[in-house]
Structure formats: C-alpha cells, structure tokens
Amino acid sequence: MNLIVTGGCGFIGANFIHYWLEKHAEDLIVNVDACTYAAVKASLDDLEAQPDKYKFEKADIADYDAIDAIVKKYAIDIIVNFAAESHNSNSILNPTSFYRTNVLGAQNLMEVTRNNPGVKRLHHISTCEVFGDMALDSETAFTEESPLGGNSPYSSSKAGSNLAANAYFKTFGIPITVSVCSNNYGPYQFPEKLIPLFVTNLIQNRQITLYRESDHKREWLHVRDHCRAIELILENGEMGNVYNIGSGVEKSVEDIAQVILDYFGKSDADKIYVPSRPSHDRRYLLDSAKIRSALGWAPEVAFDDGIRSTIEWYIQHEQWWKPLLTKRISTEQNWQVRK
C-alpha cells in the first residue's frame, strides 16, 4: 500500500512513519511536509537510505496542484494528515497561518480525496482541544458527540477542520475518518512543547517556566499508543466516524514539573512563574470508550515508564534538539493581544 503522511517531519508524524514501517515493511510512505520551523528532517535520517519504503516531497497541504500531483505520481491509497501549525502560543502571535494550514490545508486534502477515487481513505488527526475548556472539578469527559468549541486560534482552527471533515463526508461521501487525541509525549517532540522544554532546560542547567495557573491539567498519552490507535482506525475504523484517543491519565503542569525536577535532582528553586497566555484552557479530558470497545485499543505505555524513557531520550539525543533551540518562535511572555 502507498501512503501519504503529511507533516511527517513533525513530532507525531515522524513517530508514526517509524511505527508504520516497522509494522508494515512492504508499504511505501511519502512524507509530504512544507518544512516550517517545526519540521525536523533529521528525525527520519535513517529512512533516507531506503527509497523503496520512504520518499520525501516538500509541499504545502494547502496547494491543490502539488498534492494532487503527488497523489497521482505515487498512486496513493491512504492519506494521513498530521500537518498543522500546532503550538498554541504561536497561534496568538500569528493566527492567520493557523487558519490557513489547519482549516484550508485540511479542506484541500479533502478536496484532493474527492477528486481522486484511488484514495481509499483520508484520516485526519485532530485534538482534544476542539471541545474547548473544561472545569477542573468536572466529573464528565468529552465524548465524540460533545459540541465543538475552541478558545485559541489553534484549537478553533482544528475544530474548523473537524467540521469540514463532517461536511465532506455528509455532502460528498468521501472516505474519511477523524481522530481526536489528548496531549502526546515521547521522542522527537520540538523543544517548545512542555515536556521537552522542561527537560532540555534542566539538561542545560536553566530554570523551567510555568504559567501561574499551574494546576491546569492535561491528559497524557505516549506517542506510540497514539500511533497504534491510528493504525487500528486505518484498518477497521468506520468511514465518517470520529474516534477519541486518550489514556485517562491526567497530570497538572505542576505534577509534570515535579516528575522532571525529581529526575534531575533539582528543587523548586529551578521553577519560575510567568502570567498565563490568553485563552489558556484549564482542562480537557476525553471519553475514549468508543475506540476501546469498537477497535479494541487500550494504551500500553504506563506514564511513569513513558516519562522516564522520554527524559532519557532527550538526554541521549542532544545533537537532535540543540540545533532547534534557536528556531523557537514563542518566548511564553509579553503577549501582545491588540496591536
């Protein structure tokens, strides 16, 4: 089978390509990435020597002609869309790029799928943030039927892509599935995101920066468990369906900081607090009963093991993340909300 993986130079896309080719050695993956600041081609260096399994095409998912030509050139069967502007903080600094890629880029892939009957499935990757903010003491979780929300340009643009997927299924009948996942952690994550940011700061003997509302919680899933869930959806997921993917393991930002500080033998003196960014949601928790019962998925990586192996990966791969530090855009401070 021939697959396009968009955004394969990003965190989850790169993990997915490695995972898929480990399990499906006979397949060809074409990684389509626009190479924004968040792209790290080095994450896939080991595959460059295997052109029968892996190809790279630099292209923008919002460019119809480019994507259509790649689909035809490789006789693509499946498209998995990871490409996105993905950092909430950057979405406050440059919202336009988020709506362009996350809404119009995703819709463009749907349009290409509509016009290429050889494409048997488009799978779109979305996020728990599309359901909006949840109270810290809420006793319910977001199901696939919860109303869409989205308080930042990032989360609202991803919600827009979920709506487009629904419309393209209902109106044009394209073969599409959507997954909505909680926060991922693991290797190859750009060191602007919480866990690699804390770890790489502490490796360099720098302090870690927390928002003042550090009791805000996220549900954490190891990226390999996410990849396995996507594999199950590609194999058995029902067209037109949305699948939530979450571990049920919630940790506050303060909890995450503590685990990482403890690992490095550091203390509270290594924490500094800054004002939260605007539209900083308190919590998202997914009800993942549907994928568990319909597709038999369950997370396999325990949080304590996953976080330890992730910290150790960054310790062992300094040559991977060091060159990325100067590419980061947001400083998590001095938000300019109105120009």
**Are the C-beta atoms of 286 and 128 separated by less than 8 Å?**
yes
Report if residue 10 touches ligand NAD, rule: CB under 6 A.
Answer: yes
DSSP assignment letter at 189 = -
Name the helix (H) or strand (E) containing 57.
Answer: strand 54-58
Report if residue 66 touches ligand NAD, rule: CB under 6 A.
Answer: no
Report if residue 218 touches ligand NAD, rule: CB under 6 A.
Answer: no
- Candidates 33, 144, 219, 281; binder of ligand NAD (CB under 6 A) is 33
* Selection from 301, 305, 193 nearest residue 247 by Cα: 301
Rg (CA), the chain: 19
Binding-residue pattern over the window 291 to 330 for ligand NAD, x denoting contact by CB under 6 A:
----------------------------------------
d(CA 7, CA 58): 10
Piece of the chain touching ligand NAD by CB under 6 A; list 81-89, 137-145, 310-318, 330-338: 81-89
In the region spanning residues 173 to 202, those forming contacts with ligand NAD, defined by CB under 6 A, are 181, 183-184, 190
Report if residue 82 touches ligand NAD, rule: CB under 6 A.
Answer: yes
Smallest distance, Å, CB 67 to ligand NAD? 9
* C-beta closer to ligand NAD: residue 105 or 237: 105
Report if residue 17 touches ligand NAD, rule: CB under 6 A.
Answer: no
* C-beta closer to ligand NAD: residue 74 or 266: 74
d(CA 203, CA 264): 8
d(CA 128, CA 184): 11
CA distances from 177 to 45, 188, 258, 323 (A): 30, 25, 37, 36
In the region spanning residues 109 to 168, those forming contacts with ligand NAD, defined by CB under 6 A, are 125, 127, 158
Smallest distance, Å, CB 116 to ligand NAD? 18
* Selection from 114, 124, 110, 108 nearest residue 159 by Cα: 124
Piece of the chain touching ligand NAD by CB under 6 A; list 8-16, 276-284, 300-308, 312-320: 8-16
Report if residue 9 touches ligand NAD, rule: CB under 6 A.
Answer: yes
Six-digit token pair at 168?
Answer: 């393209």
Report if residue 169 touches ligand NAD, rule: CB under 6 A.
Answer: no
* C-beta closer to ligand NAD: residue 62 or 261: 62
DSSP secondary structure string for all residues of 81-110: E------HHHHHH-HHHHHIIIIIIHHHHH
Residues that contact ligand NAD, how many (by CB under 6 A): 30
d(CA 108, CA 167): 13
**Residues within the interface to ligand NAD (CB under 6 A):** 6-7, 9-13, 33-36, 38-39, 60-62, 82-86, 101, 105, 125, 127, 158, 181, 183-184, 190
